[in-house]
Structure 1
Amino acid sequence: MHTIWKGSISFGLVNIPIKLHAATEDKDIKLRSLHKKCHTPIKYEKRCPVCEMELSMNEIVKGYEIAKGKYVILEDEELEDLKKATEEKAVEIIDFIKMEEIDPIYYNRSYYMSPNEGGMKAYGLLRKALIESKKSGLAKIVMRSKEQLAVIRVYENTLLMETIHFPDEVRNVGDVPNVPAEDQVTKKEIDTAILLIDQLTTPFEPEKYTDEYRSKLMELIESKRTGKEMVTPKEKIPTANVTDLMAALQASIDKTKPKVEKKAPTRRRKSPGKEKKVQ
């Protein structure tokens, strides 16, 4: 399993070297956008609409919009110094709490934690202590230049870290529109709804739930593949640079060549002795 972060867990004077591994994976089917005419993948360019030019990475800076159209520029060096000052590669457990005290709306992402070299015994100690106390550790960690809250708990004999949102990252539920203040239902309607819920109640078995849309989409893709309904982007025809260059040079020469004005032809006069006599 790929390691995405190395550091340590600390609580009190106990320090546990650990590795983080992503506990979940994105199973979304990635579809590319192609040009309908030639089936070539579309490029998304970093382009300045004012200067009308494509930009390279060294021409781009980061800015924070403080007002409409007004930005504070943050240099890469400043951001890197700030990152180094806060990132100590440590998961510091600051409190121990009960999991049921955290509403699921706060949960973000899950990571498995494995012991690094020399951390086996301390890892087992924390795992056993969490199980016996029925508590979870509330910690802080800096990942991807962002400080995050996290909960450390035991999941099937493995320490699991779940990052959670800070309170100001959860939107105010009072801002949700059109939520009725009171329930306008009868006792009979409530009893019927509860009866229906009881009939549909079942133990949670996650393996029986599947992403039906993804399965059908993969079936469609496979049927097109086996049926040879595949497209290939048209190859870009290489340009004959020499020919183009010579043609451009010749066109330039022709364009800058001074124009020679043609003189009107002069009519020669006939001598009087040679004029025809009219009889």
Structure 2
Amino acid sequence: MRSTWKGAITFGLVSIPVQLFPATEEHGVSLHQVHAEDGGRIRVKRYCEKENREVPYAEIAKAYESPDGRTAVLTDDDLSDLPLPSKKIIDVLAFVDASEVDPLLLAKPYYLQTAGPAAAKPYVLLREALSGSGRAAVTKITLRTRESLALLRVRGELLVLQTMLWPDEVRPAAGLEPQGKVDVRPQELKMATSLMDTLSEDFDLQALHDDYQQALDSLVAAKLEGVEPPSGEEAEAMAPDNVIDLMSALSASVEAAERSRAGGSAAARAEKDPGTPARKQPARKGAAKGEASAGSGGKTAAKKTAAKKTATRKRASA
């Protein structure tokens, strides 16, 4: 894995040489455009509208067009020469409680590795200070000619730098909240909490996978082999547009979640030990008592009927 940035963390007079490595990698199948009729590749060519010719990428620069139509051409050299102190420095601005940072501001994460053995001690010192205080450092850094805020925090044995949006880049949410007065009953809140607890039991984030990616991989493989793509049942769930009885919906959700967990546990046990027979569900006591009562009642009625018939025959013979 190649580093994407080299520089130093600075706070006060302390300087820690480090290098950045991308901490995440999105998976996916690389797709390109083709002509649907014959599969011919669609190419995008860069043409200069003044010279009416294709321009190589090396001759392309960026530009800004003002409202009055004027154009300011910006070359790579122009952008790299911007007077930004954070080009090679992760400048610590302040230390804050990690809970104070709005998750909406967080963007791409990077692992921080020490650049050289001399940086190990100040690196560990900063890591332990952040970990012991429960704080994170708000910093500035310039990546690919763009300066941004970044959050420096601890993850395991490493320092992690996560770029952030500027506060004015988060759109206001005014007017999006539910309108009018909404009353939530204590019973509804209790049932919602119960549903949350049921869904959270034995939850394993690492076990989740991308269903779309798996389906796309299967589709591509089938197309390459020239066979019929696998077809699955329609699994798209339709969200109800009207909630009639919130308590009934919550109660049904809790029951469904419990059944799902019970089924998952039974399947897991069977997978671990295929020779173990599935446990039978115990019969409901109320139902068993009712069935027993119904059976004994039927026998008693039959005996009384037989006794009446016998007595009638004796009187008739007398």
Structure 2: distance between partners of 1:88 and 1:32: 35
Structure 1: distance between partners of 2:97 and 2:215: 41
Q: Deviations over 1:122-154 (max 9, x none)?
A: 111111111111111111111111111111111
Q: For structure 1, list consecutive stretches of 5 or more residues without a partner in the other structure.
A: 230-279
Residue 182 of structure 1: aligned partner: 180
Residue 7 of structure 1: aligned partner: 7
Cα deviation, residue 189, structure 1: 4.5
The 1:33–1:91 alpha-carbon spacing in structure 2 relative to 1, beyond 3 Å, is: same
Structure 2: distance between partners of 1:30 and 1:189: 47
The 1:30–1:167 alpha-carbon spacing in structure 2 relative to 1, beyond 3 Å, is: same
Residue 166 of structure 2: aligned partner: 166
Alignment: residue pair count: 225
Structure 2: distance between partners of 1:224 and 1:74: 45
Amino acid of the structure 2 residue aligned with 1:107? L
1:78 aligns with 2:78: yes
RMSD: 2.6
Which one has more relative contact order, counting CA pairs under 8 Å at least 6 apart? 1
Residues 96, 137 of structure 1: 8 Å contact kept: yes
Q: For structure 2, list consecutive stretches of 5 or more residues without a partner in the other structure.
A: 229-318
Residue 198 of structure 2: aligned partner: 199
TM-score by length of 1: 0.71
Residues 33, 41 of structure 1: 8 Å contact kept: yes
The 1:120–1:91 alpha-carbon spacing in structure 2 relative to 1, beyond 3 Å, is: same
Residue 107 of structure 1: aligned partner: 106
Residues 63, 71 of structure 1: 8 Å contact kept: no
Cα deviation, residue 34, structure 1: 1.2
Residues 61, 73 of structure 1: 8 Å contact kept: no
Q: Deviations over 1:59-100 (max 9, x none)?
A: 644322332x72441331433321x55454110111111110
Structure 2: distance between partners of 1:109 and 1:169: 15
Q: SS state of the match for residue 70, structure 1? A: coil
Cα deviation, residue 23, structure 1: 0.3
Residues 87, 143 of structure 2: 8 Å contact kept: no
Asked which structure has the greater CA Rg, the reply is 1
Amino acid of the structure 2 residue aligned with 1:182? G
Structure 1: distance between partners of 2:19 and 2:150: 15
Residue 54 of structure 2: aligned partner: 54
Residue 129 of structure 1: aligned partner: 129
Amino acid of the structure 1 residue aligned with 2:9? I
The 1:39–1:15 alpha-carbon spacing in structure 2 relative to 1, beyond 3 Å, is: same
The 1:85–1:126 alpha-carbon spacing in structure 2 relative to 1, beyond 3 Å, is: closer
State the identity as a percent.
32
The 1:94–1:2 alpha-carbon spacing in structure 2 relative to 1, beyond 3 Å, is: same
Amino acid of the structure 1 residue aligned with 2:200? T
Greater helix content: 2
1:219-258 matches, within 5 Å, as 219-227=218-226
Residue 216 of structure 2: aligned partner: 217
Amino acid of the structure 2 residue aligned with 1:127? R
Residue 233 of structure 1: aligned partner: none
Amino acid of the structure 2 residue aligned with 1:181? Q
Q: SS state of the match for residue 174, structure 1? A: coil
Q: SS state of the match for residue 36, structure 1? A: coil
